[in-house]
Structure 1
Amino acid sequence: MNFLKKLLSFSIGSFGSGIIAFVSIPFLTRVLSPEEYGSGMLFISVAMVFSNISILGLDQSYARFYDRINPRILLKKISFITFFSIIVLSLIVIINKSFINSFFNNKYEYAYLLILFMFTQNLFRYTLVILRMEQKGYLFSLLYIGQRLTELIFLVIFISLFSAIHLYMIFSSILGFILPSIIGIFILNQLITKRSELSILETSVESKSLLKFGVPLMMSTVLITILLNIDKVILSFFVSNFELGIYTSALQIALSLNIIQSAFNSFWVPYAYTVSQEENFKEKFNIINIFLTLIMVVVAIILIHFKGAFSILLGKEFKDSINLIPMLVLMPVFYTLSETVSIGINLYKKSYLHLRISLFVLIFQTIILVILIKNFNTLGASISVGSSFLLLYVLRLFTGQKHLNFIKNTKILFTIIITLYSYALVESFYDNAIISIMFIVFMLFMLFILLKKNTKFITSQFRRKV
């Protein structure tokens, strides 16, 4: 199976899941008030941070050691460590139950919901990472779509039978993780058993080795998760729940780009580790980065240019979110692109560099969030998010290239990225059609130049059906 077929099999789930998530936005913004919507998204954001801490990066360790260690033995080892980690973190949550409940306004028992979220989300995450490594793209897609669909169905049922409150957003998320995971567990047991090469793989691995690789990645992932969510947490101290709801609705529109991000990331890690053994892997990495840049930039341009259309999608109560969209769009764009340019860090097992970069960007983002929110309110938060993820991309680009120099035409690539940032910043304050068209034409011209300079290798790869 060639690259495009494998990518397609994993992309179906990401696109399907993304479409369901996108369709649910107008439903949520019409049945939930901005206050309830903002409260629900704030809890889920915080819960994701706890979930990423509890898994200790061992899902990444599974991917890294998959080709060396018997996967059944590897899975048992990482499952035990993760379960112990969740127990410890759950005890910490229970001890601090009063503080956690008060942070979310003491309406419900949020501490116990947090524990349930951690357990179910990690169960689902392990299900997906195993399917990725087994290269079962269509099954991966089926469960991925199933998770989103289950979540939406339960949400509709809860709101229809009871009331439109954020508690049911949380319940639906938890139930959405449980049902697909149960199905996946039964299927995965058969998949791993059938692998014929299990007998030639190593039958033991030290927990220290798994943690040594996974924990730095976990810390980096946690920092990235905080980067993705700290804007909402800090905003909750400076603005009302109504304004927080307006902001999170704009953020959900921007995160529609996660359709592409999820589709790509689902396949990128196992593909990169496999292709890195080939002679011309640098050229292949370069071409993948070019195509991903083309797709992400063009889609970002469309979302920014037609931002006004989203006022119809979101409804009257959320119309003030339109000017927040341009800079928020940059978050998934730059984060996704940074995954390719930094692959050298992963291949050379320099995972601690991700930690350093993420920590530096987090400090930068926290500072400018406070400054810009005080001066520009929610618009300031969106500007700080876009700026922080530009910094993340730049740092990952130059650090990754230092260890694995595979990107050609770096100046052209960097020009496109800076122009996109400038375009989003201008669109946040002004609505000038002429200026907008000038930005768009220039970016499309630079993308054409980038493709033209790599035409020869692209053509040869399509002929070989890589």
Structure 2
Amino acid sequence: MNKKDSGNKILSKFLSISVGSWIAMLIGFLSTPVITRLLSPEEFGKVSLFLLVVEVLTAIILFGSDQSFIRFFYEEQSNKRPVLLRKSLYLPLLLYAGIALLFLCFYQIFSRLLFSESSLYLIGLLLVYVLLRIFSTWSSLVIRMQQKGKLFSLIQVLNKLIEFIGILVFAYLLGDQYEVLIYAQITFMVIVTIIAISIEFHFWDFSKQKGVKLDSTFYERIKYGFPLMITLLMTLAFQSVDRITIRIWAGYNEVGLYFAAFKIIALLNMLQINFTAFWTPLSYEKYKKNPKQTQFFHNAHQIVAYSMLMIAVIVLMSKGIIIALLGAEYQQAEHIVPFLVFIPLMYTVSEISVIGINFYKKTGWHIFITIFVFAVNLLGNILLVPVIGAVGAAVSTGLSYILFYMLRTYFSTRYYKVDYGTKKFSISVSCLVMYAFYATFYKDGVVSFLLGITLLVVITLIYYQVVNEIINYFKKWINKGNTGSDVYENFDDRTR
């Protein structure tokens, strides 16, 4: 494949994934105000903690096997990749069976510990949800790693659409209960997972894989994935310490307000998820073909950093309007949103700058980074939440994600030397932090809007050359007879 064809293929895959992301974001934006009017902040708080337990159990059961599947996917021949899937599923399903048996035998202890009530039904619901999350994760991974952007976009859109319809149906039947969101999510997982597996059934048809045995690579995958599982658990602890401390010192109502603010940020997380889905297989593929071509990663960092910074500023400028749509019960969430924008911003950009750790299989650094940032975030929450509630949790978490980016980038570049242009990014983030402080503690909408406009101009000037490249790209893309290959050449060779 020549460079022209390669550029067109990459561009096509990126656009196909982006379309689904934007549609899913639009559905999420339209559905969130409806959901907040159906459920009170207290019920929102309860479902937030339930979903947290699901995330933790899923991380333990997967045991990093999903990340190992990603890492070793391109090292297998195409006809051997379904075998890799089957081998990767052994351990998670075995762990799930053990944990499910344990939870069912001692359901009273676990349900009181997790939900403050004795309920076999809640434990059963939890186990069903976790099992669906496992198969949903793997069905999505199979599509991602084949870089089937259109199909992945369709899955993302169906997720949001079916979830929204399910919420309306179950809210009509049950009223203001937190189970409404759980039932809706279980519904879309069942439907969408069945669709995804059916489309890629050649991957899942294990009847043709006779005599598949666990070999030495099984232990190599465990060795690679185990630190990532620990990292994910620590990341979940890092991400959930805010909700836990709010629950301890402020109650379910504040947790609900925080979760509502998070629903707004979750729309930006859709960009993060879709970018990661596109970026992960592409980065491994590029590295395998030419490890010395670091300019590609530099340019990707510049473009994504600028784009995410602009989106973050726009969200802060319009946060008042967005929160007003949630309803009167959620107005206090306006002061929680500003620092939460750093979560998708810093995580998405760090997905590019962290590649050195992953390429060189130094996954132990993920554990160190996450533990260190978790400790900082925990300290920040302990100091701020008792004083200013959910706002303090947002400030602590947002600043912790900046530290998260810095550490990932530092250790990554020790192994894989890439000039990411971090000086530009650091100046821009510093300006955004000051703007977020103003937007958190002051209510002058006009001043906040003018500061936002000023910051958009400043960031654009800082990334002036990147903006030029983006403009040139669109000019060439819309011209007849130009399919984007020249842009790809520029992307590799010119953006600095």
2:458 matched residue in structure 1:
445
Where do residues 5-404 of structure 1 align in structure 2 (5 Å cutoff)? 5-69=12-76, 70-102=80-112, 103-106=114-117, 108=119, 109-190=121-202, 206-276=217-287, 277-278=289-290, 281-404=293-416
Q: Retained in 1: the 8 A contact 2:335–2:440?
A: yes
Paired amino acid for 1:41: S
Deviation per CA, 1:249-307: give whole Å up to 9, x if none.
11111222112212210111100011112366311111111111111111110111221
Name the residue aligned to 2:487.
462
Letter in 2 for 1:20: I
* Distance of 1:269 and 1:213 partners within structure 2: 16
Unaligned ranges ≥5, structure 2 = 1-7, 474-484, 492-496
Kept after mapping to 2: 8 A contact 1:14/1:141: yes
State percent identity of aligned pairs. 27
Residue 18 of structure 1 contacts residue 258 of structure 1 at CA under 8 Å; is this kept in 2? no
Cα offset, 1:442, TM superposition = 4.7
The TM-score normalised by the length of structure 1 is 0.91
SS at match of 1:206: helix
Residue 204 and residue 9 in structure 1: after superposition, are their counterparts in 2 closer, same or farther (change >3 A)? farther
Contact kept, 8 Å, 2:143 with 2:151, in 1: the verdict is yes
Aligned CA RMSD, in angstroms, stands at 2.6
Task: String of CA shifts for 1:158-216, please: whole Å, max 9, x gaps.
Answer: 111232211121122122211111122222123688xxxx9xxx995532111111111
Gap change, CA 1:92 and 1:107, over 3 Å in 2: closer
Task: Find the aligned partners of 1:451 and 1:398 in 2 and give their Cα distance.
Answer: 25
Q: More deviation in 170-179 or 224-233?
A: 224-233
Distance 1:463 1:171 in 2: 44
Task: Specify whether residues 89 and 396 from structure 1 end up closer, same or farther in structure 2 by C-alpha distance, changes over 3 A only.
Answer: same
1:17-42 deviations in Å (ceiling 9; x for gaps):
33323322111110111111211122
What SS is found at the alignment partner of 1:335?
helix
- Paired with 1:191 and 1:72, the residues of 2 have a C-alpha distance of 5
Instruction: Quote the offset at 1:384 in angstroms.
Output: 0.9
Instruction: Indicate how the Cα distance of structure 1 residues 463 and 289 shifts in structure 2: closer, same or farther if over 3 A, else same.
Output: closer
Distance 1:73 1:453 in 2: 43
Please give the per-residue CA displacement for 1:308-334, whole angstroms capped at 9, x wherever unaligned. Answer: 112321001111111111011111111
Note closer, same or farther for the CA distance 1:68–1:410 as it changes in structure 2 (3 Å cut).
Answer: closer
- Return the TM-score normalized by structure 2: 0.86
Q: Secondary structure at the match of 1:314?
A: coil
Distance of aligned partners of 1:133 and 1:205 in 2 relative to their CA distance in 1, 3 Å threshold: farther
Give the conservation status (yes or no) of the 8 Å contact 2:319–2:337. yes
CA distance in 2 between counterparts of 1:95 and 1:191 reads 35
Q: Deviations over 1:337-383 (max 9, x none)?
A: 11111111111111111111011111111121111101111111111
Q: Secondary structure at the match of 1:16?
A: helix
